[in-house]
Structure 1
Amino acid sequence: MGITERLHEIGRPLVAEQLAHPTVAGISRGDLDERAFRYWLEQDHLYLLDYARAFSRLAWQAPDDHLADLVGIAHSTLTEELELHRSLSGEFGADLTTKEKGPACEAYTSWLLEAAADYRDGLAAVYPCMWGYNTLGRELARDRPEDPRYARWVDTYNDPGFTELTERYGRMLEESGADPERAERFFLEGMRHEIAFWNTPYT
């Protein structure tokens, strides 16, 4: 069993936990309190800025055959993914100029940037966000929310291009020669941060 296959196996119950979380369940139904999604948008905007920094830190250490992909993912984060947030911010009244990280965002980004100081550990630490959101997007697309704003969010993470990017990233993790036990430890910690990130004051 390869590293990513093992990570998917241990990660699926944690994706199920996210699907059952009140915030995600509200997105799925299309009736999430707008204040909750506004808070998530503001916090995820701050997260994605550091997420791109983590990819940049990994790219600096990367072997030649991984460099272009990691730079590409950082660019995609700063353009396509953040464009989604900008397009939704007006509809939810989100303030994307805020610099105030909540506890979950602060804990996650601090840990992620530190993990990215080591190439193999960092690849495993970042994987829960890409694979987790892609898996959530595909699951939520089975019963797409009627609210077009939430549907657009689901469509972004269910997009075949995002799936292809996630699969390429998984191959880089496999090719990196990461220690399976360390990869599992960093992956599981990242998944726990992912679950905590859904907490908002409004659910």
Structure 2
Amino acid sequence: MKRYPGEEVPGLAPAGSLFARLRAACLTEWTAYIDHAFVRQMGEGTLREECFRHYLGQDYLFLIHFARAYGLAAFKAENLETLRAAGLGMASILDEMGLHVDFCRRWGLGASELEALPESRATLAYTRYVLEKGLSGDLLDLYVALSPCMVGYAEIGLALKPLSGPDHPYREWIDQYAGEAYGDVARASVATLDDLMARRGGVGRMPDLIRTFREATRLEADFWRMSLDRAD
């Protein structure tokens, strides 16, 4: 029987957790995502403002669909604990959207202007992939598709935190995802994955779950690339 070991993700996922195992199985794609040029430039403070602005606009639209995905998770919840987890995920996303609006007000963009933006192809591809996984699969499929975003942003925030200072142009973004509140959301996502795996999974599901995790991670990297290139 094939084993899928996974090392600890410090502060976020214990060794052997489903998230750690999925991350380890897709380490090439994961590294391309969390160490993307967009992320490195943001940490260095050299990312062009127009790229960050393009990212924020598309990410606002992205988060609307991810909030819907957690609504779908709530609908599919089999017990109160899973229902609460879906509610926590949705609340976190709505909080993220507030940060985006605060940033974009500096450029004269409010929530209504953000909602009216056209979706890029990268936004369409990623959000529809996650929603399709939730519609065609079960809760475990959906949470695996969500996890590169929900946990990956916490890992990125913690990695960039030492680079952030009072005058860093992206300090607020970094502080949001490196903060304890978002860390709690990421750790709750990791725990929910383990709970769902215990109740609905088994080693026979791992190949399909790895494929889902890998594709979602690739789509995350594509989202960074779209933002860096300011592509439609």
TM-score (norm 2): 0.80
The percent of aligned pairs where both chains have the same amino acid is: 27
SS state at 2:170 partner: helix
Is 2:179 aligned against 1:156?
no
Is 2:57 aligned against 1:23?
no
1:113 alignment counterpart: 131
- 1:1-203 aligned at under 5 Å gives the runs 1-64=16-79, 65-78=81-94, 80-94=95-109, 95-117=113-135, 118=137, 119-144=139-164, 147-176=167-196, 177-178=200-201, 179-199=205-225, 200=227, 201-202=229-230
Gaps of 5+ in 1: none
Change (3 A) 1:28 1:93: farther
Cα offset for 1:91?
2.5
- Of the structure 1 ranges 157-166 and 2-11, higher mean CA displacement relative to structure 2 is found in 2-11
The CA distance in 2 between the partners of 1:146 and 1:182, in whole Å, is: 44
TM-score (norm 1): 0.90
Cα offset for 1:103?
1.1
- Of the structure 1 ranges 92-101 and 187-196, higher mean CA displacement relative to structure 2 is found in 92-101
SS state at 1:198 partner: helix
The CA distance in 1 between the partners of 2:46 and 2:97, in whole Å, is: 23
- Of the structure 1 ranges 123-132 and 144-153, higher mean CA displacement relative to structure 2 is found in 144-153
Cα offset for 1:9?
2.1
Cα offset for 1:97?
3.2
The CA distance in 2 between the partners of 1:188 and 1:112, in whole Å, is: 12
CA RMSD of aligned residues (A): 2.0
Instruction: Output the amino acid matched with 1:74.
Output: M
Larger Rg: 2
Gaps of 5+ in 2: 1-15
Q: Is the 8 A contact 1:55 1:70 kept in 2?
A: yes
Q: Is the 8 A contact 1:156 1:162 kept in 2?
A: yes
Change (3 A) 1:202 1:123: closer
Cα offset for 1:30?
1.2
SS state at 2:155 partner: helix
Cα offset for 1:33?
1.0
The CA distance in 2 between the partners of 1:12 and 1:150, in whole Å, is: 27
Change (3 A) 1:114 1:98: same
The one-character-per-residue Cα deviations of 1:140-185 (angstroms, maximum 9, x if unpaired) are 1121155444010001111112112111111111111332222211
Change (3 A) 1:40 1:20: same
